Amino acid sequence: MKRSEDILEFETHGHGLKSEGKIDGITVVVITKIKNHTRTNDGIYTVHVLAEELKERFRGIDEARDAAGAAFSAHASSALTDDTITSVMSAVDPRPFHTGHFIDSLGTIRPDLWSALIARYGAGGQGAGTHYSAFSAVAHALHRAAIRGVLDKLEEYVPAPPDLNWGSPVIRYWTGSGGFSDQPYPDEPAPEATYSEGAVIEVKVNRYERSRGARAACISHYGTVCQGCSMDFGSRYGERGRDFMHVHHLLPLKQIKKAYKVDPIAHLRPVCPNCHAMIHRREPMLSIEELRAIIT
């Protein structure tokens, strides 16, 4: 696959006041002459890359084009600013979402930006013959945004949906900021919990590992509404509550006492912390159907 510096093509520059740079017919650069001089092709030029104006002014079209090409190569993926990611993410459904869901929303809300990313990196997918693609650029931009706290990244990958045709067998899930912080569960202590009595006895309690990817797939399937009481944190608390929900194992991990392959749809259900606590308050734990019967 050719890189952008090989395929960024500019219109022939004559006496016009504007020159556009295109990749596969998509306009990604606009160069405007703002002052004419004695020589026909001399001037002072402004450069817009992906609709963002460069701070510098340039004397001569060749200098402007060189700067435009360099800026485009540097800014194509970074054009996914925090504000852009937040606005695109707010329209994504379901939550949590995988990178493919985000790209679908990006293509709807900012088709110009998604087209520019495809022009710069290629669409990717099976048979594309490229390792780094527009999909990769978006995933990396989301990763950097997660580091800045714009959204939350689920730590492990999960199998990619077969219809995504991405070319990768796994995919990352994401959610809004604060949506998947590690919260204590009513049926187990917090990580590395230590209990002491006096100065003699110290007991450390094991915490069975939970898959954040499995939780994400469960909520993606069932939604963020409690299966017990129908509580929706987003409706009750607004943006602060959006994406927040516990996930309940129908068969408690402490009973399994070994690693097993979780089926997020068959083995897990989203429940609010109150219902989760009531399910596990006494042994044997309640089924979700028994919990609903108590509530109603």
Cβ neighbours around 64 below 10 Å, total: 27
- Provide the whole-model pTM: 0.51
Burial class (CB in 10 A: 0-12, 13-18, 19+), 127: exposed
102/110 Cα distance (integer angstroms): 11
212/38 Cα distance (integer angstroms): 66
The whole-number pLDDT of residue 82 equals: 86
What does the pLDDT look like over 139-168, one tens digit per residue?
878 888 888 888 888 766 777 777 776 666
- Only one residue has tokens 């927040």, namely 244
**What sign results for the dihedral spanned by CA atoms 102, 105, 109, 111?**
positive
What does the pLDDT look like over 188-222, one tens digit per residue?
444 444 444 444 444 444 444 456 667 777 887 88
- Flag whether pLDDT at 289 surpasses 90: yes
The whole-number pLDDT of residue 39 equals: 56
The whole-number pLDDT of residue 195 equals: 41
Burial class (CB in 10 A: 0-12, 13-18, 19+), 188: middle
3-state secondary structure of 44: strand
114/134 Cα distance (integer angstroms): 8
What is the length of the chain? Answer: 296
3-state secondary structure of 90: helix
Burial class (CB in 10 A: 0-12, 13-18, 19+), 23: buried
Closest CA to 10 of 58, 49, 57: 49
Return the domain boundaries, the chain: 4-75, 82-176, 208-295
Task: Pinpoint the alpha helices (H) of the chain.
Answer: 4-7, 61-75, 82-90, 99-109, 111-121, 134-147, 212-222, 233-237, 253-256, 264-267, 273-280, 288-295
Question: What tokens were used for 258?
Answer: 């070994």
3-state secondary structure of 160: coil
Over range 280-296, report the average pLDDT: 89
* Residue scoring higher pLDDT (119 or 246): 246
The whole-number pLDDT of residue 131 equals: 62
DSSP state, residue 99: H
38/148 Cα distance (integer angstroms): 50
Q: What angle (nearest 5°) sits at the alpha carbon of residue 232, between those of residues 80 and 230? A: 145
274/289 Cα distance (integer angstroms): 15
Residue 158 β-bridge partners? 171
Instruction: Kindly report the backbone phi and psi dihedral angles of residue 21, in degrees, each rounded to the nearest multiple of 5, phi listed first.
Output: -105, 130
Query: Whole-number mean pLDDT of the chain?
Result: 75
* Residue scoring higher pLDDT (245 or 36): 245
The whole-number pLDDT of residue 200 equals: 47
DSSP H or E run through 98: strand 97-98
Over range 262-282, report the average pLDDT: 88
Residue 19 β-bridge partners? 31
Range name among 94-108, 122-136, 150-164, 260-274 with the lowest pLDDT average: 122-136
Instruction: Kindly report the backbone phi and psi dihedral angles of residue 173, in degrees, each rounded to the nearest multiple of 5, phi listed first.
Output: -105, 150
Closest CA to 269 of 197, 230, 219, 208: 219
Question: What tokens were used for 148?
Answer: 């800045």
